[in-house]
Structure 1
Amino acid sequence: MTISKFTCGAFLLSLGLLGGCTAKFLDEAPADQITDANFYQTQQDAIQAVTAAYSELTKEGQYNAAMWAFDIWADISSTGGDDGNDGIEYKQLEAFSIPTTNFIATRLWGGSFIALQRANIVIQKVPGIANMDPVIQKRCIGEAQFLRAKMYFDLVRAYGDVPLFKAPPTSPTAVNIPRTPAADVYKQIEQDLTDAIGNLPLSYSGDDLGRATKWAATGLLAKVYITEGKKTEAAQRAREVINNSGKTMWANYADNFKVENGNNNAKESLFEIQYVSGRNQYDRNQVGSAMNEFFGPRGANQTPGSGYGFNTPDPDFVSGYEAGDTRRAATVWAPGDTYPDGSKVASKATGSPFGYSCRKWFVGKVNTNIWDSGLHVPVLRLAEMYLIVAEAVGPTTEGLEAINKVRRRSFGLDYTVPSAAHDLTAATGNFTNAVLRERKYELAFEFDRWFDMKRAGTLYPTLTDHAFIPRMTQQAATLKGIAPNVHGIPTQNNLVLPIPQTEIDTNPGLVQNPGY
């Protein structure tokens, strides 16, 4: 079955595909032989249908493969791994030589459309369920609106114009619609999130922890607005989260990335991907995160499979940390660092000639299963809300205080207390660049950097003063085994991914992006 057939809604006729549960609230296993005709009758049916949409977040089409590419494609990391074709799907992106059959482009499209069509079913069917608590009914619709918006936000940023489905297709052929202008897709995203804010609760407890809240929807809307350049609206929504959500930043940056700090203890996180360990092995489409293994230092015997060394931090990125920035130690393994078993990080490794590897998603040998970490992945954090305010209002008193809160915490200081040593001031040159730089180091390996560079205009055409050039020329032969000045220079066509060839072949209404 092609990805296109998944997106057409045929998969929705059998809820046997609702598997892929994550945290406790995703543990409801569907009964066999349930069809669209006899489902959507009870409150449990509604909750289970929403669970199906959430489940795609943990898989290859989202945070277990596809989203990893957006730091490799930017100036954070290189593919790493072994030599030859290991990670070829990422190397194609990294070299800006991307076929229309690229695995990442295909899976991001497919996984996103599966999730949003499942959300469409919820939005269509759940209002008609009579035997249901109206509070839960409203919440389920809000969750589906949030998830549909999240998926379309990823799609429109990655591909540009995409087919816009406001309801599930009624037949396999009904999926064959043309691409909708990005501006209209953004309007729908804004509407969905505005509606979700009105439908979602402030918080959850017990087994429902991890579901989207009002503050997750508000924070995502702030991010959508800043992406669109709607700074007034972005600042307003980010302020709402900062002032009213009850969230605070961890005193220690690294505490955001500890297994024990998920959900109940997630004081800074607004929404996170729910991973669970101990349930699968060698499967990126189940409930465990593969990042501990894939990003773990290659061959260092620090993870159940000894580490694959993917997403290796680039030297330019690592050298950009300011002295005393605690985020470096939480994000990067560097030569001389000490592993949990007491051994030292070597000066170089296969796939990482400078010895760096990603530490942010490292949990070590917490169990014997491979590709099976339970570390949640934050999608939105309070720190990002401060940075959105700073970007939106500029070097005003409010903007400076917002970015300085993030900076103070990065140096291990009380983020509420001014610091003469580390605070930016009104005299700081190019404040917008300062905010984007802060985002680069605050959100590294949280898969935002390529999107930030794209909206800031530093992917193209301002290539001559960007880190792509030194990385892709001076280090090309070492990092990628290719000659300098031959590959790896982005062009205007690389502002979007190619539409997957499977989609072009199946849907005559689709037109490929330029340059592919």
Structure 2
Amino acid sequence: MKTYIISILTCGLMITATSCKKFLDLKPLDSYTENTFYNDEKGLQGGLISCYDALQTDSLYGNNLLTLGELRGDNLTDNDPGSGAGVRNQIEVFSETSANSILSGSWMGHYKAIYRCNIILDRAPAIAMNETTKNQIIGQAKFIRALSYFNLTRIWGNVPLVLKVQKTEEARENTRATAAQVYQQVIDDLTDAALKLPTSWPDAQRGRATSYAATAILGKVYLYQKKFDLVETTLKPVVTAIYARTILDTVPQTKTFPNNIKTSKDIIFAVQYLSGGVKEFVNQDNRYRNNNNTNIINIPQALFETSDNRKALVAITGTGGRPGKFNTPQANNETSSDFPVIRCADVLLMYAEALNETSYGNTEAFKALNAVRLNAVASAKTPAILTSQSAFRTAVYLERRLELALEADRWFDIVRTSQMNVIFPGIPSFRSIYPVPQVEIDNVNNKNGYQNQGYN
């Protein structure tokens, strides 16, 4: 600010008005534009933080993804159909339209994250800086972009594949890429990210994406494509690290879900929050809070064994009305409850599922499944109990429901495993994906075929 004041005074002493006018037309020295901000390492690191910040928003892991990925399934019921003009309830009862604000918010939120990542990826190659640091920045941006596209294609199927910063006129010409094309880009981004990222970060940078996180999500992408052999080979190094306690805490967990997500190694990647008036919090209502009987968690307790400690994690507690899994302290309606995107149990269950699909009876498949169950104080499964490939498959599907409950994966698992018509009989198959938001269709020039079939 001192420099700015001195410059104005200097201008006042200039002889000609033209000279002064030329100075006043300059950009303030403390203002940044896209062209001036991303010119050095500091700018790239600041831009990268904005990529992580995009994941925090209510449009994504702050709220909307919990509705689209969990409420839609059979774990949760919205018992307040009049709230928010009913947009949340519409998702649950399969009556949403392209005007639903949760859908439009999520669509725009994901593309905001992608836009921010694309800026980083556009600018980073030309910046002179330490190559290792640069690669780590690029790897993180590719990880977040890949995660965003993975979510987009799980929600909508075919979506625009935007890989560079666009002007408005260019964006209006976007068309929808096929899900296969999107998945291939996700695979490319995650593969490169896994090579560029470290296996861990110093405590001061904990929460950034790691090579383990990129590899684990890559395995999940292959699972959605039913490429079970690639799931196995991709996840093998992560599973080995889990068994070696490289990822898991050295002290066995007393609960399946870590008591302290922020420091537990069981969390491979989570979207982080911080309460305390710093505007990095998540609203306590956005963690399945049962406020006046508005959120009903309806996972049958009979699905859990008596000793299974996961029962308490899906039960609404008296403190704050949130389920045990997300019952972190709150103040002024703020919580610092991180949201897990990928963790060790998910990796082990994906690994077990893939091994069973390629060859029933694989001892490694039983080992992975039982690692999750024994950590939850549930009994081990044996070939004498799960006597066929089909029985093992059913057991894994159930285990995923119990273990990953309320982690915004249930609906996608239902669709992926072709259980939609069984769990929701009578619901038309086109509702396995959501309608493209009308606001997006309105903004493109070629609207032909832009909406998903079955929706108006």
TM over 0.5: yes
2:174 is equivalent to residue 181 of structure 1: no
2:305 equivalent to 1:322: yes
Report how many residues are paired.
415
In structure 1, C-alpha distance between the alignment counterparts of 2:367 and 2:203, rounded to whole Å: 35
CA distance in 1, matches of 2:370, 2:102: 36
* Superposition deviation, residue 206 in structure 1: 3.4
- One-letter code aligned to 2:177: T
- What residue is the counterpart of 1:349 in the other structure? none
Are 2:410 and 1:449 equivalent residues in the alignment? yes
Supply the AA of the counterpart residue of 2:150. F
Aligned letter for 1:79?
A: D
Following superposition, the deviation at residue 279 of structure 1 comes to 1.9
Give the share of equivalent positions with the same residue, in percent.
29
More helix by share: 2
* Aligned-partner residue type, residue 492 of structure 1: S
Once the two structures are TM-superposed, the CA of residue 87 in structure 1 deviates from its matched residue by 7.0
Q: Does the 8 A contact of 1:64 with 1:291 survive in 2?
A: no
Q: Secondary structure at the match of 2:270?
A: strand
Q: Give matches, 1:78-477, under 5 Å.
A: 78-80=77-79, 82=80, 84-86=82-84, 88-130=86-128, 132-169=129-166, 171-176=167-172, 177-244=174-241, 246-248=246-248, 251-252=252-253, 254=255, 256-258=257-259, 260-262=260-262, 265-279=263-277, 286-291=279-284, 295-299=288-292, 310-314=294-298, 317-333=300-316, 339=318, 358-364=323-329, 366-367=330-331, 369-370=332-333, 372-394=334-356, 395=360, 396-411=362-377, 419=380, 425-427=386-388, 430-459=391-420, 463=421, 466-468=422-424
Higher gyration radius (CA): 2
Give ranges in structure 1 of 5+ residues lacking alignment.
1-30, 281-285, 300-308, 346-356, 414-418, 470-488
Secondary structure of the corresponding residue to residue 342 of structure 2:
strand
Distance 1:399 1:505 in 2: 48
Q: Residue type of the partner of 2:283?
A: A
Which one-letter code corresponds to 2:252 in the other structure?
Answer: A
CA gap 1:50/1:293 in 2 versus in 1, 3 angstroms: closer
Label 1:196 to 1:423 Cα distance change in 2 as closer, same or farther (>3 A): farther
Q: Which residue of 2 aligns with 1:302?
A: none
Deviations 1:269-297 (A, max 9, x none): 110111001126xxxxx521224665233
Residues 356-404 of structure 1: CA deviation (Å, up to 9, x unaligned): x63321224x42x21x211211111011111011110104111111111
Letter in 1 for 2:74: D
When residues 188 and 427 of structure 1 are mapped into structure 2, their CA distance, relative to the original with a 3 A threshold, is closer
Whole-angstrom distance in 2 between the partners of 1:256 and 1:142: 28
The separation in 2 between residues aligned to 1:97 and 1:229, in whole angstroms, is 29
How far 1:340 sits from its partner (Å)?
A: 5.3
Preserved CA contact (<8 Å) 1:255 1:261: no
Aligned-pair Cα RMSD in Å: 2.4
Counterpart code for 1:379: V
In the alignment, is residue 509 of structure 1 matched against residue 446 of structure 2? yes
Q: Secondary structure at the match of 1:270?
A: strand
State the secondary structure of the residue aligned to 2:77. Answer: strand
CA contact (8 A) 2:258 2:266 kept: no
Query: Does structure 1 retain, via aligned residues, the 8 Å contact 2:256–2:376?
Result: no
The 2-side partners of 1:166 and 1:266 are apart by 34
Structure 1 residues 375 and 115, CA gap change in structure 2 (3 angstroms): same
Which amino acid in the other structure matches residue 231 of structure 2?
Answer: A
Q: What's 1:75 paired with? A: 74
Q: Distance in 2 between matches of 1:62 and 1:310?
A: 21
- Change in CA separation of 1:422 and 1:253 when aligned onto 2, cut-off 3 Å: farther
Residue pair 1:296, 1:359 contacting (<8 A) in 2 also? no
Q: What CA distance in whole angstroms lies between the structure 2 residues aligned with 1:429 and 1:231?
A: 15
Equivalent AA in structure 2 for residue 360 of structure 1: K
Question: Deviation per CA, 1:399-436, whole angstroms, max 9, x where unpaired?
Answer: 111111111112268xxxxx479995445752212111
CA distance in 1, matches of 2:404, 2:309: 13
Distance 1:498 1:191 in 2: 27
Retained in 2: the 8 A contact 1:295–1:358? yes
Q: Separation in 2 of the partners of 1:359 and 1:424?
A: 31
Summarize the Cα distance change of 1:38–1:84 in structure 2 as closer, same or farther, 3 Å threshold.
Answer: closer
